[in-house]
């Protein structure tokens, strides 16, 4: 029997949507916190919230509401930064990670980038950008 550790890996498919890849009936896994982070940031009104009574385990991000404004302003950048920080705060309170840092930057009149840095308990740092440009959203993990 194989033991799977980490998170189920979510991959972007050709249509631009995200999916889970299965190999021999088993999900492809990551060794880090990438999937949990993405679900926490984008998990508005997620059905999995009904499975727990602990508030810290519920994913109720306000980040999707921020980006639905579809306008690049300092307020959108700052509100997005705070929404991401709030969505990931349980990483530290539940001792999943040592720290979470989020910084936002307006790139141009149509784009805001947020850099998310998560320092794991093993001193590995996971970094990714959430790129929001012209209403399109992508998440890009950095090596």
Whole-number pLDDT of residue 3: 57
The CATH architecture that domain 7-49+56-142 belongs to is: Roll (3.10)
* Predicted confidence band of residue 62 (pLDDT cuts 50, 70, 90): very high
25: helix, strand or coil: coil
Whole-number pLDDT of residue 51: 80
State how far the Cα of 92 lies from the Cα of 56, in Å rounded to an integer: 11
* Predicted confidence band of residue 6 (pLDDT cuts 50, 70, 90): low
- What are the structure tokens assigned to 121, written together? 């308990």
Whole-number pLDDT of residue 81: 97
Residue 12, pLDDT > 90, answer no
Residue written as token pair 């249509």: 15
Give the C-alpha distances (Å, rounded to integers) separating 53 from 14, 49, 56, 60, 66. 37, 8, 9, 13, 26
What does 28-46 look like in DSSP terms, one character per residue? -EESSSHHHHHHHHH-TT-
pTM comes to 0.77
């Amino acid at each position: 029997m194989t033991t799977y550790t980490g998170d189920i890996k979510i991959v972007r498919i050709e249509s631009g949507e995200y999916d889970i890849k299965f190999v021999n009936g088993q999900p492809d896994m990551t060794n880090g916190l990438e999937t949990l982070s993405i679900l926490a940031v984008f998990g508005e009104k997620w059905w999995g919230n009904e499975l727990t009574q602990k508030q810290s385990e519920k994913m109720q991000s306000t980040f999707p509401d921020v980006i639905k404004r579809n306008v690049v302003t300092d307020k959108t950048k700052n509100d997005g930064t705070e929404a991401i920080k709030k969505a990931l705060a349980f990483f530290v309170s539940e001792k999943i990670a040592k720290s979470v840092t989020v910084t936002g930057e307006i790139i141009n009149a149509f784009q805001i980038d947020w850099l998310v840095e998560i320092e794991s308990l093993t001193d590995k740092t996971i970094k990714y950008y959430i790129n929001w440009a012209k209403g399109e959203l992508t998440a890009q993990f950095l090596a």
